[in-house]
Amino acid sequence: MGGLSSALGSIWDWINYTFDPLCGPVGLFRLLATDTLVGCGDTGWGDEIAFGVKVTISLALATLPVGLALGFLIALARQSGEWSLRAATGVYTTIFRGLPELLTLFIVYFGFQILVQSVLTWLGIDQRVEINAFVAGMIALSVVFSSYASEVLLSAFQAIPRGQYEAGSAVGLSRRKTMWLIIVPQLIRIALPGLSNLWLVLLKDTALVSVIGLADIVRQTGVAARVTKEAFMFYGIACLLYLVLATVSSIGLNAIARWANRAEASR
């Protein structure tokens, strides 16, 4: 088992190194800026920044499924016939769409820390705990993402005619099957533009996590800027990296939109 996991680990390391667009064998920094401040290795900041890019991307990618799933459930609850469920989820979206993302992050980060600490003290364990910044960031960003996503999905739900549900039950599909086979495929197509916007917003919001000390793009370039006194260059690099991430994701999202609308296009 240990051998297998270490083998998998080394394969992962190899993939991570080979396909690294910044510091891999054919990486941008390695090819163009070997002996400068952004070179890879011990002398330059290239590998630190490359690590930050990976952290930013993985935080956004880890937040997305959680936020989408939560948002879908909230959108379902927002249109249920039960008033209490509508009111309860309404409170949720009002709160988390009204709070600044930075404040949500602090409330989650310090709140969990204090909560865990007091539970431990109550159990009689005297130990300092540190909440993982990645997890805190993921929770805060998922909560914010889900409350916006629920609005997008809710309006997409309202764009689907009732006849679709009725047709589903007319051919004898259960409610669950109607949802998965009839409603969700149409929902994805209608909600995709709104969700694409939210993804780009999420990508930018990950920058906030640098404030609680997670080593993302902003944090890593900030450390480099402070050490080398080349603030403009390093923050400029960070801006360029975000631009590249946004451009790459909008290309990807356009491809997904084309795929989702493939039935429409032929008409």
Partner 1 sequence: MTHALEMIPARPAPPVKASRINLARVAGYGILTLWAVLGLALVWYLASSWDPAKIERYGWRYLDGLATTLMLTFGSITLGALLSLPVTFARMARNPILNTIAYAYVYVFRSTPMLLQIFLIYYGLGSFRPQIEAIGLWWFFREAWYCALFAMTLNTAAYQAEILRGAIQSVPRGQTEGAKSLGLPTSITFWKIILPQALIVALRPYGNEIIFMIKGSAVVAVVTVLDLMGQTRYAFSRTFDYQTYLWAAIFYLAIVEALRHAWGAIEARLTRHLKR
Kindly tell me which of 134 and 235 has the beta carbon lying closer to partner 1.
235
CB of 102 to partner 1, least distance (A): 4
Query: What is the CA angle 59-111-139, rounded to 5?
Result: 25
CB of 26 to partner 1, least distance (A): 26
| Cα–Cα distance measured from residue 96 to residue 233, given in angstroms and rounded to the nearest whole number | 35
CB of 232 to partner 1, least distance (A): 4
Residue entry with tokens 């865990």: 116
Kindly tell me which of 24 and 109 has the beta carbon lying closer to partner 1.
109
Kindly tell me which of 89 and 142 has the beta carbon lying closer to partner 1.
89
CB of 8 to partner 1, least distance (A): 34
Kindly tell me which of 24 and 143 has the beta carbon lying closer to partner 1.
143
Which residues, other chains included, contact 6 with Cβ-Cβ below 8 Å and sequence gap of 6+? Answer: none
| Cα–Cα distance measured from residue 178 to residue 112, given in angstroms and rounded to the nearest whole number | 39
- The two three-digit tokens of residue 103, written as one number: 């404040």
Closest to 216 (Cα-Cα) out of 106, 139, 137, 101? 137
Kindly tell me which of 97 and 262 has the beta carbon lying closer to partner 1.
97
Q: Which residues bind partner 1 (CB under 8 A)?
A: 77, 80-89, 91, 94-95, 97-103, 106-107, 110-111, 114, 200, 204-208, 210-211, 218, 222, 225, 229-233, 235-236, 238-239, 242-243, 246-247
Cite the DSSP H helix spans in the chain: 2-18, 28-32, 46-78, 83-98, 101-122, 133-158, 162-170, 175-177, 184-205, 217-228, 231-260, 262-265
CB of 83 to partner 1, least distance (A): 7
| Cα–Cα distance measured from residue 50 to residue 238, given in angstroms and rounded to the nearest whole number | 11
Phi-psi region of 131 (alpha: psi -120 to 50; beta: other; left: phi over 0): beta
CB of 187 to partner 1, least distance (A): 19
Kindly tell me which of 26 and 240 has the beta carbon lying closer to partner 1.
240
Kindly tell me which of 15 and 248 has the beta carbon lying closer to partner 1.
248
